[in-house]
Structure 1
Amino acid sequence: MGHREDLLEGAKRCLLEKGFLRTTARDIVKESGTNLASIGYHYGSKDALLVQAYVALIEQMGDRFDPGWGAGDAAQAPGGSLERFRDVWASVIRSMPESRAVWLLSFELILQGDRLPEVRKLLVEAQEQGRSGIVPLFSGVPEAELDQETVETAGRLYQTLLQGLMVQWIFDPDSATDADHLTEGLRRVIAGATKG
């Protein structure tokens, strides 16, 4: 690995251990075995590096949301089906214990967003990418083939559900919504919408 990759990996470890605000450039340098000048050279600033590290952590966690992750060639329910909806949420929930540090980091960034306007701007851009990345899990349609309207509607819906679920599981896993609750709730909403 080169300095760029070493910095990113070191920043990811620092974020998980110390969080965003408590991580210093010196912490990252110590963890990565690089030097202070390499942060500016490769990423422009410590905050930009930390945002990239955070996005990388989210992407790694998102890989585990796929119901087929780690299942080899196991057949998946058809995209757009209630079964697929349930399977994706079950995968998300299974990942919660090992993803807890990343979710806590997300809360830190949400709560400090007003104090870190440049960081907030970078995270807003990453959030837009996240919307297009989550839709394929449910639809089965590759990200490159999604139209913008689907990303802006279905992507926002899934992202909102994910963030709400995250809050519940961080606050109290024992009473948090599970995949069956979400699926039955959606089934009832669909049934109600088709009545009238």
Structure 2
Amino acid sequence: MGHREDLLEGAKRCLLEKGFVRTTARDIVKESGTNLASIGYHYGSKDALLAAAYVDLISAAGDTFGAFATADSAGVPGSLERFREAWQNITRSFVEERPIWLLTFEVITNSDRLPTVREHLVKASDEGRRGIIPLLMGGSEDDVDDATLRSLGGFYQVLLNGLSVQWLFDPESATGADDLTEGLRRVIEGVAKSES
């Protein structure tokens, strides 16, 4: 690996161990075996490097969401079964990748202290919305238009963020995929009744 990759891997380890606020440039250099000048040369700043490392971590966690989609048991895209299976994988990620999800809340609660990191992550937010839509509805990320990104992607992101809060705060009482799916089924049933 070169310095750029070493820095990224070192920054990931620092984030998981210390978080955003407590990680210093010297921590990253020590962990990566590089030098301070490399951070500026390859990433521009420590905050930009940490943002890139976080996006890499959360993307890897997100990649596990769709593991079921290639399985024979995967429900039809857009179905309640597909919804349940996807959220089952997502909630599993909250347990298995807990340190990564905790970083999200560190950014949210410290956004005033991490403005550069926040700016990078706001840009990455649309990528997350764009990626979750095909997971649940089928198709590809390239098929997602701006209106769908804002509405359906925003809806799924709200579910993701709300569930992550529940699962990080108290996994024992958090809403599971079965209950979430039943809730959606009841919403659909209520809409159907109101329109008939």
Work out whether the TM-score is over 0.5: yes
User: Percent identity, aligned pairs only?
Assistant: 63
3-state SS of paired residue (1:21): helix
**Which residue of the partner structure matches residue 175 of structure 2?**
177
CA RMSD of the aligned region, Å?
1.3
1:108 matched to 2:109? The reply is no
User: Once the 2 structures are TM-superposed, how far is the Cα of residue 115 of structure 1 from its aligned partner?
Assistant: 2.3
Conserved? CA contact 1:67–1:87, under 8 Å:
no
Kindly provide the amino acid, as one letter, of the partner of residue 63 in structure 1.
D
Q: 1:150 aligns with which of 135, 148, 155?
A: 148
**Which residue of the partner structure matches residue 50 of structure 1?**
50
For residues 82-124 of structure 1, what are the alpha-carbon distances to aligned partners after superposition, in whole Å with 9 as ceiling and x for unaligned? 0000000001112222211011111110001022222221111
**Which residue of the partner structure matches residue 94 of structure 2?**
96
Conserved? CA contact 1:67–1:76, under 8 Å:
no
3-state SS of paired residue (1:68): helix
3-state SS of paired residue (1:176): coil
In structure 1, C-alpha distance between the alignment counterparts of 2:29 and 2:115, rounded to whole Å: 24
Kindly provide the amino acid, as one letter, of the partner of residue 75 in structure 2.
A
Misfit runs of 4+, over 3 Å: 72-75
3-state SS of paired residue (1:121): helix
3-state SS of paired residue (2:76): coil
In structure 1, C-alpha distance between the alignment counterparts of 2:24 and 2:35, rounded to whole Å: 13
Of stretches 36-45 and 95-104 in structure 1, the one that deviates more from structure 2 is 95-104
Q: Structure 2: any 5+ residue segments left out of the alignment? A: none
For residues 7-51 of structure 1, what are the alpha-carbon distances to aligned partners after superposition, in whole Å with 9 as ceiling and x for unaligned? 111100100000001001111111111111110000000000000
Q: Structure 1: any 5+ residue segments left out of the alignment? A: none
Conserved? CA contact 2:12–2:57, under 8 Å:
yes
User: Once the 2 structures are TM-superposed, how far is the Cα of residue 67 of structure 1 from its aligned partner?
Assistant: 4.0
For residues 129-184 of structure 1, what are the alpha-carbon distances to aligned partners after superposition, in whole Å with 9 as ceiling and x for unaligned? 11111111101111011111111111111111011000001111110000011100
In structure 2, C-alpha distance between the alignment counterparts of 1:75 and 1:175, rounded to whole Å: 27
In structure 2, C-alpha distance between the alignment counterparts of 1:187 and 1:73, rounded to whole Å: 23
The structure that is helix-richer by fraction is: 2
In structure 2, C-alpha distance between the alignment counterparts of 1:54 and 1:11, rounded to whole Å: 8
Under a length normalisation based on structure 2, what TM-score does the superposition of the two structures give? 0.95
**Which residue of the partner structure matches residue 17 of structure 2?**
17
**Which residue of the partner structure matches residue 165 of structure 1?**
163
Q: Number of residue pairs matched? A: 194
Under a length normalisation based on structure 1, what TM-score does the superposition of the two structures give? 0.95
3-state SS of paired residue (2:66): coil
3-state SS of paired residue (1:64): helix
Of stretches 92-101 and 32-41 in structure 1, the one that deviates more from structure 2 is 92-101
3-state SS of paired residue (2:34): coil
In structure 2, C-alpha distance between the alignment counterparts of 1:73 and 1:179, rounded to whole Å: 18
**Which residue of the partner structure matches residue 128 of structure 1?**
126
In structure 1, C-alpha distance between the alignment counterparts of 2:152 and 2:71, rounded to whole Å: 27
